[in-house]
Amino acid sequence: MQELINSQIFLLTLTVGVYLGAIQLRRKINCALLHPVFVSILVLIGFIRLTGIEYEHYMQQTQIIDFMLGLSVVALGYILHDQIYNIRGNVISIVMAILVGSAVGIVSVALIARWMGAEPAVVASLEPKSVTTAIALSVSANSGGIPALTSVVVIVVGVFGGIVGPWVLKKIGVESRIAKGLAMGAAAHALGTARAMELGAVEGAISGLAIGLMGLATAVLVPILEKIM
């Protein structure tokens, strides 16, 4: 029995199964906190604790899922190409907004966390918080962060950004549809995009584009800004 529980086929099936179950749960009860990734992580942590499986062993056996993460980042290049018609005539403003936004995001989260006493590994884990998880994890690992911490922070930020985004934009008087979509995708990645789609087709498409651009800008800016800060 223990042998079966430790086997690759069992752990892979369990991981995908728990994830599908979490998605079903989300469909039944629509609550932002019941995010499928959150729920899956909690259930699997509970299972690992109960059965006494080492995390290193679990990670090794499910490595193929982790590998797919890298592939899905490459696939974002396809979405970027698919959305590019949306930004004709606004290339410069979009690039500027993303660069400034990315820098503000990295610097502000690092300074606040450091000021509140967080240690360097935690600060490095927070820096790529606005970026889609796949890119955030590589950036975090590259700069001495803890990928597991980053993955949870990214989801929290996405859920939060999706909820407050439209409200913040309204408060500060942003009316341009491109600006709204860009801000949602830049701050809250795919979860912001899901919300932006509800605002409108333009907002949704631009938001999807913002995910890719923000990921790129952050991957380049984090190592540079870390040297300066």
Partner 1 sequence: MYGLFLILLFYLLGCLISALIGNFVPGSVIGMVLLFAALSFKWVRPGAVKRVSTFLLDNMMLFFVPVGVGLITSYTLLSRYMLAIIVASLVSTILVIAVVGLVEQKLESKKDSAKNEKEENARTH
| 68 touches partner 1 (CB under 8 A) | yes
CB atoms within 10 A of CB 185: 32
| 209 interacts with partner 1 by CB under 8 A | no
What's the residue count for the chain? 229
Taking CB under 8 A as the rule, does residue 24 contact partner 1? no
Binders in 76-135 for partner 1, by CB under 8 A: 76-82, 84, 86, 88-90, 92-94, 96-98, 100-102, 104-105, 108-110, 112-113, 116-119, 121-122, 126, 129-130, 132-135
Q: How far is the CB of 53 from partner 1 (least distance, A)?
A: 10
Residue 59: CB partners within 8 Å, gap ≥ 6? 66
d(CA 222, CA 102): 9
Cβ density class 164-173: b for 16+ within 10 Å, e for less:
ebbeebeeee
Q: Which of residues 183-202 bind partner 1 (CB under 8 A)?
A: 183-184, 186-188, 190, 201-202
- Looking at residues 26 to 55 of the shown chain, list those that interact with partner 1 (rule: CB under 8 A): 36-37, 40-41, 44-45, 48-49, 55
Report the 10 Å Cβ neighbour count for 21: 14
User: Could you tell me the maximum CA-CA distance found in the chain, to the nearest angstrom?
Assistant: 62
Is residue 144 involved in binding partner 1 (CB under 8 A)?
no
Among 10, 34, 51, 66, binds partner 1 (CB under 8 A): 66
According to the binding rule CB under 8 A, does residue 155 interact with partner 1? yes
